[in-house]
Amino acid sequence: MKNLEKNIDPFESIQKILKKSCDILNVSCDLYEILKEPQRVIEVNIPVKMDNGKIKIFRGYRSQHCDVIGPFKGGIRFHQNVNRNEIKALSMWMSLKCSANHLPYGGAKGGIVVDVNELSENELEKLSRGYVREIYKYIGDRFDIPAPDVNTNEKIMAWMLDEYINLTGNNNIATFTGKSLEFGGSYGRREATGVGVSHITRESLKKLDIDIKKSKIAIEGFGNVGSNTALSLQKMGANIVSISEFDKEYGVYTIYNEEGFDVEDLVSYFEKNKSLLNYENKKFLVEKEFSSLDVDVLIPCALENSITEENAKNVKAKLIVEGANGPVNYMADKILEEKNVIIVPDILANAGGVIASYFEWIQNISGMDMTKDEVLNRLEYKILFAYDGILKTREKYNVSLRLASYIYSVERIYKSLKLRSRI
């Protein structure tokens, strides 16, 4: 699904629902004033000597929203559409996500305006290290802990951490999470976001009295989150009938199989070919058909604003689980609520990644390792504990699940601000 409404600003959207949450809680108006803007936004220009010998300047950002609960935490994305307001909004989402899931973190987010497909590996490494050179004074294991996000991965985290160590002389691997196992990473971290999405999907289907083994699910995006969501749901018995993906030459495409895909085969094919365009056991759908598929669940796992006012009108799914950050925009949210579509919001649904990052951070600080099963079992406990609290908040205030999650999160931040005499 395309971003059909580019004028929808995710920063304005999150401010609106944040204000509504504060109003419903009926707490000091100072709370919204504190939370409506990040504490700090860092904007940098990163010079990179390209392979052709010329210097090119890349724009980068790091937004640090609120550290009242703990050090800042949030990923770094490399994408051509990165902008200041997007990064600010994403840092606010991280504050709310960490609070909702009872993690001792505040929210942050970083990004660089770049099309990674246009860089060689040498240029990508120089850019990654250059970004750290510009922001290293503002990060650290007890201040701000970055992690991977869109188009960044374990290798990029290794380059960044190595540059941080070289600059500071501080060999503290807890400064970054989402690392490879060989460089202080955690078992289960790679699968964690998708596994968390699958647990929330399973529990939400139960609430709707839908047997997961009879459910039909469509997933947008087949990167790390989408593929691991699909794999985990298939193990639970769900039928993954459609995948929407992006190909640089073809654009957005959607494949469909009414009987359900063999997800392990799909993942293997995608890893080998970097595309599902020529996968045999499928039929193509036109792009706009994805949102209107007759399925039980839509799981958007790509970028924000993929479900808009235009395509929300055609949604037939009973449940949307936000594997990405902000995939349902503000106007679409209203339309879907009127249609009684249940939306499990991003700050709950895709929290598995930051929960597993928290476990990685703990392991790095303590020197004690966890097995993959320990990480994923603890992840399930934490995310379902948060889900239960948000469901109770929804019943208490008679609001949507999204608004309930914000209220639940904001109330916890408010209590921390009060305890620390900041409000």
Amino acid at 334: K
Q: How far is CA 357 from the centre of its chain?
A: 12
Please confirm, yes or no, whether 334 is among the known catalytic residues.
Answer: no
CA gyration radius, the chain: 21
Catalytic residue among 88, 109, 216, 318: 109
Q: Which element (helix H / strand E) includes 372?
A: helix 372-397
Q: Which element (helix H / strand E) includes 108?
A: strand 106-113
What's the 3-state SS for 297-340?
EEEECCCCCCECHHHHCCCCCCEEECCCCCCECHHHHHHHHHCC
390 near 343, Cβ under 8 Å?
no
Active site positions, annotated: 109
